[in-house]
Amino acid sequence: MKIRERVQKIVQEIPENVKLVAATKTRTIEEIKEVIDAGVEILGENYVQEAEGKILEIGKAIQWHMVGHLQTNKADKAVDIFDMVETVDSIRLANRLNRTASEKKIVYPVLIEINSGKEEKKAGVFPEEAESLIRNISKLSHIRIEGLMTMGPFLEKVEEIKPFFRLTKEIFDYIKSISIPNVEMKYLSMGMSDTWRIAIEEGANLIRLGTVIFGPRKI
């Protein structure tokens, strides 16, 4: 099955309110152009340097999201090239993004990454610390929080991811209900190639898909 056919099949399955982010890490320019031709409007990249080269060649007609862990020293470049960072998990990173956005005289949209599995070696804020972080970031005038993102732990049985997605949705709904200034809960980014159906069931409206669109990576 070709990339276009895979994209069309997924689009037919997902609700209208769900947006597809094509995860393009290690994918070629030709593959990315195919996915754009198939109608995908958001591309997700994991690394600033890799994304920079692709964006120079492909351009900004579509949106580019940072979906990998962002090092603070790469934050300035991230604001330059990405339309959104989905993986903000510290006030330090938010401050750096805010500073760059202020210099550019823009308000920059971000999602807060939730470490829903509370895994010590993974990025993301622990669930119980999310509200405090969001309140602190909300005070920054050139950052706008637009939702949450989670990876969830890697599990042998796909269906076991459900409680972690459900927890993130509960945090999303709670933050939305308390109406923090400068915070608009619009996007809940959850689910990848093996878990996107469960993610949608649990409330995701952004899904980040790579393998199911492109096929296995050629390492």
Q: Of 47-56, 133-142, 209-218, where does mean pLDDT reach its minimum?
A: 209-218
Rounded Cα distance, 55 and 12, in Å:
28
Rounded Cα distance, 79 and 192, in Å:
24
Total domain count, the chain: 1
pTM > 0.85: yes or no: yes
**Largest pairwise CA distance in the chain:** 48
- Under the banding of pLDDT at 50, 70 and 90, the label for residue 219 is low
Say if 38 falls within a structural domain: yes
Say if 170 falls within a structural domain: yes
Say if 122 falls within a structural domain: yes
Rounded Cα distance, 87 and 206, in Å:
13
Say if 219 falls within a structural domain: no
Q: Which structural domain range is residue 110 located in?
A: 3-214
User: What's the rounded mean pLDDT across residues 62-68?
Assistant: 97
Say if 96 falls within a structural domain: yes
User: What's the rounded mean pLDDT across residues 174-187?
Assistant: 97
CATH of residue 68 = 3.20.20.10
Say if 54 falls within a structural domain: yes
Mapping DSSP to helix (H, G, I), strand (E, B) and coil, where does residue 34 land?
A: helix
Q: Of 22-36, 146-160, 166-180, where does mean pLDDT reach its minimum?
A: 146-160
